[in-house]
């Protein structure tokens, strides 16, 4: 019996978008798992048989009672995902789908197909109990296990210094509030400026640093806090989605030793409150409260986040999830 984790090959994508999946692969390899490569392409033009031929080629090595952890989404078509799980089931392998993102929870979709897809898998890896609950509410009946953080492999950075600086990294399209930010505390931005935003001048207290690769950015965070804040707008429920998901950005900040700031009703906000990893706020107008945080408070947050930083560095969350998957199918560790 062999354990596999899928690797969607998409070399045109920015490294930051690939890191969470790549780290899972790299950690799985240390645990004697194998890689199952899937070459992403525009399969919507394929006939059913053409698509199936590709899937059969990629799955040729699979044998009965193997385990396949499928990193989802691949951003190929619904038809591909349906044919892929059908092939896994036909080959009588243990099937696991590991959710990185789940579109029906963050975008308004009239006919979501993803919930039926999850039901076709033996096991679903989710980010939080809240995600498990909302998926169950939408009819997902497969067994679920929780993967609370995505590990972040990178060299250990210098200890972040105390300051009231607010750092924000990631996809700006989910945070249009950045265009009109009028808070008193400076925000330092890391990421690629969206094409639609090229004509926009950043507000006075927003300092844009450009886009860094996912390793360099860890060392670029010298001080202050890491902010997680997405918005709901135009049928996109990005903030609502944070009630359920484990943002990769949180792992980045923790690896850099930055205390976190997040929405009080988010899943990561609940973890922040429980483990004293930073502060939570109800709205962005409360960001200025950061100015009242003392040096002792700051270093207290860092003391509490240090064990999380170490686990993320060592790949412990992925290792634990892989062990739970093996236990679910009663597979002895190699």
Numbered ranges of CATH 3.40.50.2000 in the chain = 3-151+316-330, 161-314
How many C-beta atoms lie closer than 10 Å to residue 138's C-beta?
15
How long, in residues, is the chain? 334
| Domain 3-151+316-330 = CATH 3.40.50.2000 | yes
Q: Which two tokens stand for residue 323?
A: 């062990």
Question: By the 8 A CB rule, do 34 and 2 touch?
Answer: yes
Dist CA 58 CA 70 (whole Å): 13
> Which ranges of 208-330 would DSSP assign to H, the alpha helix?
216-220, 238-241, 248-255, 267-275, 295-314, 316-328
Whole-angstrom Cα Rg for the chain: 21
User: Residue 12: its pLDDT value, please?
Assistant: 56
Distances (CA, A) of 243 to 160, 259, 305: 28, 19, 21
User: Residue 9: its pLDDT value, please?
Assistant: 84
Nearest partner of 77 among 45, 49, 105, 30, judged by Cα: 45
User: Residue 40: its pLDDT value, please?
Assistant: 86
User: Residue 11: its pLDDT value, please?
Assistant: 65
Specify the 3-state DSSP secondary structure of 140. Answer: coil
Specify the 3-state DSSP secondary structure of 200. Answer: coil
Dist CA 292 CA 125 (whole Å): 39
- Burial level of 48, CB count in 10 A (0-12/13-18/19+)? exposed
Percent helix / strand / coil, the chain, rounded to 5: 40, 20, 40
Dist CA 136 CA 115 (whole Å): 9
pLDDT averages per 10-residue partition of the chain, 334 residues: 92 71 98 95 89 94 97 94 97 98 87 96 98 97 98 93 96 89 93 87 91 94 96 88 97 98 98 98 95 98 98 98 95 52
Phi, psi of 264 (to 5 degrees): -65, -25
User: Residue 322: its pLDDT value, please?
Assistant: 98
User: Residue 334: its pLDDT value, please?
Assistant: 45
> Which ranges of the chain would DSSP assign to H, the alpha helix?
15-30, 48-58, 78-90, 114-119, 129-137, 216-220, 238-241, 248-255, 267-275, 295-314, 316-328
Question: By the 8 A CB rule, do 58 and 36 touch?
Answer: yes
Specify the 3-state DSSP secondary structure of 226. Answer: strand
User: Residue 195: its pLDDT value, please?
Assistant: 86
**What DSSP state is assigned to residue 107?**
B
- Give the sign of the dihedral formed by CA 69, CA 72, CA 76, CA 82: positive
| Domain 161-314 = CATH 3.40.50.2000 | yes
Q: Which long-range contacts (CB under 8 A, 24 or more apart) does 321-326 make?
A: 321/98, 321/125, 321/145, 321/147, 322/3, 322/27, 322/28, 322/31, 322/33, 322/69, 324/145, 325/3, 325/67, 325/69, 325/96, 325/123, 325/125, 325/145, 326/3, 326/67
């Amino acid at each position: 019996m062999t354990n596999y984790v899928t690797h969607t090959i998409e070399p045109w994508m920015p490294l930051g978008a690939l890191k969470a999946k790549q780290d899972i692969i790299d950690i799985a390899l240390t645990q004697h798992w194998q890689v199952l490569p899937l070459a992403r392409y525009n399969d919507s033009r394929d006939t059913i048989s053409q698509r199936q031929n590709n899937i059969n080629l990629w799955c040729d090595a699979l044998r009965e009672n193997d385990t396949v952890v499928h990193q989802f989404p691949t951003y190929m078509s619904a038809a591909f995902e349906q044919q892929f799980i059908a092939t896994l089931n036909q080959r009588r392998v243990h099937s696991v789908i590991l959710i990185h993102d789940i579109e029906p929870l963050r975008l308004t979709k009239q006919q979501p197909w993803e919930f039926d897809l999850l039901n076709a898998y033996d096991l679903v890896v989710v980010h939080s109990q809240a995600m498990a609950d909302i998926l169950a509410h939408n009819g997902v009946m497969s067994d679920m296990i929780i993967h609370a953080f995505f590990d972040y492999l990178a060299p250990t950075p210098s200890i972040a210094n105390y300051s009231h600086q607010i750092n924000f990294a990631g996809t700006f399209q989910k945070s249009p509030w950045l265009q009109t930010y009028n808070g008193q505390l400076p925000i330092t931005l890391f990421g690629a400026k969206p094409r639609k935003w090229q004509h926009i001048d950043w507000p006075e207290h927003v300092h844009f640093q450009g886009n860094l690769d996912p390793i360099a950015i860890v060392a670029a965070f010298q001080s202050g806090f890491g902010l997680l804040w997405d918005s709901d707008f135009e049928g996109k429920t990005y903030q609502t989605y944070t009630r359920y998901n484990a943002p990769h950005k949180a792992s980045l900040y923790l690896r850099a030793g930055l205390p976190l700031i997040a929405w009080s009703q988010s899943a990561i906000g609940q973890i922040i409150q429980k483990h004293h990893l930073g502060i939570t706020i109800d709205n962005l107008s409360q960001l200025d409260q950061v100015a009242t945080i003392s040096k002792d408070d700051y270093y207290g947050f860092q003391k509490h986040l240090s064990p999380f930083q170490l686990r993320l560095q060592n790949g412990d969350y992925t290792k634990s999830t892989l062990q739970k998957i093996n236990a679910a199918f009663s597979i002895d560790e190699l």
